[in-house]
């Protein structure tokens, strides 16, 4: 398969299996949160809930695009992503996947709604930092810190907003819902008794929204992992999108060259002058390549990683150059640059993609994980965050807020934690009901501890595992 030697094919298979295992474990945590309220409130039976959630997740992954997936991929430095040594790529993939799985399984075992997103981000950072210590890393590149900081803000602010918005929504419900409906909405679920039809419909709708947007965000993280594996181990097939005619790049290259030709390099900072010179050389090389002789309209195998590297660096450098005060690019010029660099009709359409079979494989892994491991997290969300049991209003409020936050993050192409957004929404709804005293201090402390420890532990795990695998392989 893919023309690989037997040992490399086995490593590819193990890596793909590990990525699916990560999404399977992700289903324990994050998708279980999505079905917690409908199961706990008896709106749906567990089997029906997880199957329906799986369908919504599948749809979300399928329709959610790949912006978040590419954000995950681009956290790592270009040098690591285009390493010609396939065993180095295997070490990278196995380190970040195993560290993520170890932490996720451990927190799942204790029923803690830990964040798969935090775990994955931490693992990627650990691998990047470990790569910085490698002798072949001449530039000292470790992590795409600009993207990492942007991701960090999203992960930090989303649960705080979820907590606050749930309080606001509960306040609005108490003030706007008629008394008769309010009596039903703010009741605790009765054991083995379905809620009123209209409440059941609301809860199923909010569960569906959370599941859909979870697929559009968290599902993409798995897609990003698979693409890291494929780009690293079988770059000849996946470094750039092979079913696109490379000659389509020429119009984009020409448009970019025309725009940056107006730049006065003397007005740029020294760093950006160097970037501009490098970008012009890379654009010229790409232009010569795609205008040369191409067998079957394909980039030669030995050039595919180089082309990916050039495309990523062109995109990164031009973004930094355009932000320089001395660039003086007009709004129309910036718009033209974005169009020629973008993923829809620009150069990034050759690097920012994922085959349909990858998306389907991740969707299936998420769904299976949900069906098998949902119970522990459901009990925590339904009974252990607050001192009182979850009411219909609290469940609906938390899930509606979670759906809004995750949907917004997916639109902005940022990864967020379904676990933290939803559990913070539950906590906010408990505070809105009877104040801070309504929270169970022990559970909140454990969740907060898992939140605080996830990044440093996953960074340390992946850092150590990468060094180990580089030594072994």
Is the distance from CB of 238 to CB of 83 less than 8 angstroms?
A: no
Specify the length of the chain in residues.
473
Q: For residue 140, give the DSSP letter.
A: -
Beta pairing partners, 439? 386
Q: Is the pLDDT of residue 242 over 60?
A: yes
Model confidence at 400: pLDDT above 60: yes
Position with higher pLDDT, 471 vs 441: 471
Q: In 3-state terms, the chain is what percent helix, strand and coil (to 5)?
A: 75, 0, 25
Residue holding tokens 């973008």?
Answer: 342
- What percent of the chain shows pLDDT beyond 70? 86
| Mean pLDDT score, 212-229 | 85
What pLDDT shows up at residue 386? 42
Q: Is the pTM of this model over 0.85?
A: no
The helix (H) or strand (E) run that includes residue 459 is helix 441-472
Which letter does DSSP use for residue 350 in this model? G
| Euclidean distance between CA atoms 402 and 385, whole angstroms | 16
Model confidence at 384, pLDDT cuts 50, 70, 90, reads very low
Q: Residue 3's pLDDT band (boundaries 50, 70, 90)? A: low
| Alpha-carbon distances, residue 139 vs 5, 78, 225, 235, 365 (angstroms) | 31, 11, 24, 22, 37
pLDDT reported for residue 219: 80
The runs of H, that is alpha helices, within 342-412 are 356-373, 375-379, 392-411
SS3 track for 88-125: HHHHHHHHHHHHHHHHHHHHHHCCCCCCHHHHHHHHHH
Closest to 238 measured CA to CA, from 228, 246, 225:
228
- pLDDT tens per residue across span 93-137: 888 888 888 887 777 677 665 677 778 888 888 888 888 888 776
Q: Phi and psi (nearest 5°) for 386?
A: -105, 165
Gap between the Cα atoms of 150 and 69, Å rounded: 15
Is it the case that residue 383 has pLDDT exceeding 60?
A: no
Residue 381, pLDDT > 60, answer no
Residue 461: band (very low, low, confident or very high) from pLDDT cuts 50, 70, 90: very high
pLDDT band with cut points at 50, 70 and 90 for residue 371? low
Q: Is residue 61 pLDDT above 90, yes or no?
A: no
How sure is the predictor about 444, in pLDDT bands with cuts at 50, 70 and 90?
Answer: low
Q: Are 41 and 195 in contact (CB under 8 A)?
A: yes
* 240/259 Cα distance (integer angstroms): 25
At 447, the pLDDT band (50, 70, 90 cuts) reads: low
The residue that leads in pLDDT, 281 or 374, is 281
User: Which residue is listed with tokens 């009123």?
Assistant: 196
Mean pLDDT of 202-227: 86
Mean pLDDT of the chain: 80
pLDDT of residue 133: 84
- Half-sphere exposure of residue 357: CA atoms within 13 angstroms, side-chain side: 2
**pLDDT value for 183:** 72
């Amino acid at each position: 398969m893919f023309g690989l030697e037997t040992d490399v094919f086995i490593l590819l298979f193990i890596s793909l299996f590990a990525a699916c295992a990560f999404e399977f474990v992700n289903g324990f945590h994050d998708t279980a949160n999505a079905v917690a309220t409908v199961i706990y409130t008896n709106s749906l039976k567990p089997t029906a809930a997880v199957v329906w959630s799986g369908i919504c997740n599948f749809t979300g992954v399928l329709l959610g695009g790949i912006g978040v997936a590419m954000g995950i991929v681009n956290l790592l430095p270009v040098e690591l992503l285009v390493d010609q040594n396939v065993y180095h790529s295997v070490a990278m993939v196995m380190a970040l996947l195993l560290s993520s799985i170890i932490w996720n399984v451990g927190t799942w075992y204790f029923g803690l709604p830990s964040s798969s997103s935090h775990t994955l981000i931490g693992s990627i950072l650990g691998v990047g930092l470990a790569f910085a210590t490698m002798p072949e890393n001449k530039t000292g590149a470790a992590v795409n810190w600009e993207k990492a900081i942007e991701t960090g803000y999203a992960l930090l602010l989303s649960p705080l907003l979820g907590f606050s918005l749930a309080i606001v929504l509960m306040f609005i419900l108490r003030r706007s819902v008629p008394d008769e409906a309010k009596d039903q909405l703010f009741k605790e679920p009765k054991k083995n008794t379905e809620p009123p039809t209209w409440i059941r419909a609301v809860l199923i709708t909010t569960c569906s929204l959370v599941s859909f947007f979870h697929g559009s965000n968290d599902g993409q993280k798995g897609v990003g992992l698979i693409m890291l594996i494929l780009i690293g181990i079988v770059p000849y097939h996946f470094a750039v999108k092979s079913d696109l005619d490379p000659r389509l790049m020429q119009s984009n290259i020409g448009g970019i060259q025309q725009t940056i030709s107006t730049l006065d390099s003397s007005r740029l900072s020294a760093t950006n002058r160097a970037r501009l010179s490098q970008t012009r050389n890379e654009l010229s090389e790409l232009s010569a390549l795609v205008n040369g002789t191409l067998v079957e309209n394909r980039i030669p195998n030995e050039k595919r990683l180089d082309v990916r590297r050039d495309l990523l660096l062109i995109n990164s450098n031009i973004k930094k150059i355009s932000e320089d005060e001395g660039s003086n690019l007009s709004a129309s010029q910036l718009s033209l640059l974005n169009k020629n660099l973008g993923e829809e009709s620009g150069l990034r359409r050759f690097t920012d993609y994922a085959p349909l079979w990858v998306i389907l494989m991740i969707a299936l892994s998420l769904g299976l994980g949900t069906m098998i491991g949902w119970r522990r997290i459901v009990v925590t969300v339904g009974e252990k965050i607050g001192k009182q049991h979850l009411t219909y209003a609290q469940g609906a409020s938390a899930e509606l807020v979670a759906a809004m936050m995750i949907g917004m993050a997916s639109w902005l192409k940022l990864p967020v934690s379904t676990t933290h957004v939803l559990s913070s929404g539950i906590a906010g709804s408990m505070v809105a009901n009877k104040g801070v005293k309504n929270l169970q201090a022990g559970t909140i402390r454990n969740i907060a501890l898992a939140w605080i420890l996830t990044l440093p532990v996953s960074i340390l795990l992946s850092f150590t595992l990468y060094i180990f695998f580089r030594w072994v392989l």
